[in-house]
């Protein structure tokens, strides 16, 4: 599997990067390989975005890595319980990030089911930013690790017309920035799934 070059993450247009991460692979290998295909992302545009942890230049031990080199993981604890996985983008000093919100599970289903304490495979196994990290075994300890351990180019081609653009989830506190079209998901899955 090919990992993405640093130049992929180093660009300043976090919205473009968020869209281009759709169709890429997100995997961990803690004993067994687990993961799948990214189908939902959100862009967080640094100091000018009220929904971002780095809004107005806020800098704390928690979000410090957002200001560092691109191509590393920003993982933080949300609501005291869930680890949320972000890709840090833009050149050093610009705290942009892309939140990975959902993947289609493809590898290590049994391991992911047991991590999630589930019996049967369905679309909820890795859908939702907290659910996905639980399934892959990602936690805050992985903050700061290079993304080439996690994100791979699977060679899937995602067409513009297959991307659904909408507003971000759970950021009502962000005022007018809550209306920004910064959430991207796949309109159609390019794998068959049985929901019946």
Partner DNA sequence: CAGCAGATTGACT
Partner DNA sequence: GTCAATCTGCTGC
Residues of this chain that bind DNA (CB under 7 A): 42, 44, 51-53, 58, 60-63, 74, 77-82, 84, 86, 97, 99, 116, 124, 127-132, 168-174
Tell me the C-alpha to C-alpha distance, in Å, between residue 196 and each of 66, 88, 92, 113, 122. Answer: 42, 38, 47, 19, 10
Query: Between 24 and 53, whose beta carbon lies closer to DNA?
Result: 53
25-30 vs 151-153, strand pairing mode: antiparallel
Distance CA 41, CA 131 (A): 14
Query: Between 74 and 152, whose beta carbon lies closer to DNA?
Result: 74
Minimum distance of DNA from residue 106's CB (angstroms): 18
Distance CA 123, CA 39 (A): 12
Query: Between 92 and 122, whose beta carbon lies closer to DNA?
Result: 122
Query: Between 161 and 195, whose beta carbon lies closer to DNA?
Result: 195
Minimum distance of DNA from residue 180's CB (angstroms): 13
Minimum distance of DNA from residue 141's CB (angstroms): 11
Minimum distance of DNA from residue 80's CB (angstroms): 2
> Across 16-110, where does the E strand assignment appear?
25-30, 32-45, 73-78, 82-89, 96-107
């Amino acid at each position: 599997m090919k990992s993405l070059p640093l130049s992929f993450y180093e660009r300043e247009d976090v919205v473009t990067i968020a869209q281009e991460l759709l169709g890429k692979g997100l995997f961990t290998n803690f004993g067994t390989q687990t993961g799948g295909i990214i189908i939902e992302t959100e862009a967080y545009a640094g100091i000018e975005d009220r929904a971002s942890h780095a809004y107005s230049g806020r800098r704390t031990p928690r979000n410090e890595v957002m200001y560092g080199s691109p191509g590393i993981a920003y993982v933080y604890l949300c609501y005291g319980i869930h680890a949320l996985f972000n890709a840090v983008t833009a050149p050093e000093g610009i705290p942009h990030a892309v939140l990975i919100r959902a993947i289609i599970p493809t590898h290590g289903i049994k391991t992911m089911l047991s991590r999630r304490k589930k019996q049967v495979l369905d679309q909820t196994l890795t859908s939702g930013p907290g659910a996905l990290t639980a399934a892959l075994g990602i936690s805050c300890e992985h903050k700061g690790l290079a993304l080439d351990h996690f994100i791979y180019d699977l060679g899937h081609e995602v067409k513009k017309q297959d991307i659904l653009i909408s507003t971000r989830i759970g950021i009502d506190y962000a005022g007018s920035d809550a209306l920004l079209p910064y959430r991207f998901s796949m309109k159609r899955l390019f794998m068959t799934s049985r929901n019946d």
